[in-house]
Amino acid sequence: MRWRIPVLALLLLLVGRQLSAQDDCGQGIWKLESQAVNGEAMDLETFTQIRVVTSSHSAWMRVPDGADTTVVPALYAGSRRSVTGNTVTETLEYSKQSEYVGLESSYPIPCPKGDLLYSEFDLPITEDGEVKFTVHLEEVWRRIE
């Protein structure tokens, strides 16, 4: 159970990397609809997570539901991105968890099916720069704009 907080924090920083653009594929504003970690469904009832993807940048934030307009997001991150062929590379430029700034990742570009984007991938969890273990993530994002 102790691993859940750091795993979810890193997950939130990197999971957005699955939302990408190829010929506008994945560009837009997205809301996280469902998420499972190692097959276990996560409770999304207490927060809203939004992701914005353009051809050159992406950003996301997680805000507790019912929060007033002065609340600071529980988690947030943003990255610079580039697309080459069927691969996108993102470099984290800012994050609530500053230790992840500069993290770079490349991955195949998933494309939405209608207004839904399905994302499934393995995420390495690091501590002090070393991979400690890997979690399997499955997500569904809904295009809201």
pLDDT values of the chain reduced to their tens digit, one per residue, 145 residues: 444 444 444 444 444 444 433 455 778 999 999 999 999 999 888 888 999 999 899 998 988 887 666 667 788 889 999 888 888 888 889 988 777 788 787 777 778 888 998 887 777 677 776 778 888 889 899 999 8
- The DSSP bridge pattern shows strands 40-41 and 57-64 to be unpaired
Q: Which CATH number fits domain 4-143: 3.40.50.10490, 3.90.1310.10, 2.40.128.280, 3.40.50.2020?
A: 2.40.128.280
Confidence at residue 69, expressed as pLDDT on a 0 to 100 scale: 63
CA atoms of 41 and 122, how far apart (whole Å)? 15
Q: Where are the domains of the chain?
A: 4-143
Both ends of the chain: CA-CA distance in Å?
A: 36
Q: What is the value of pTM for the model shown? A: 0.73
Q: How far is C-alpha 135 from the chain's CA centre?
A: 14
Confidence at residue 9, expressed as pLDDT on a 0 to 100 scale: 46
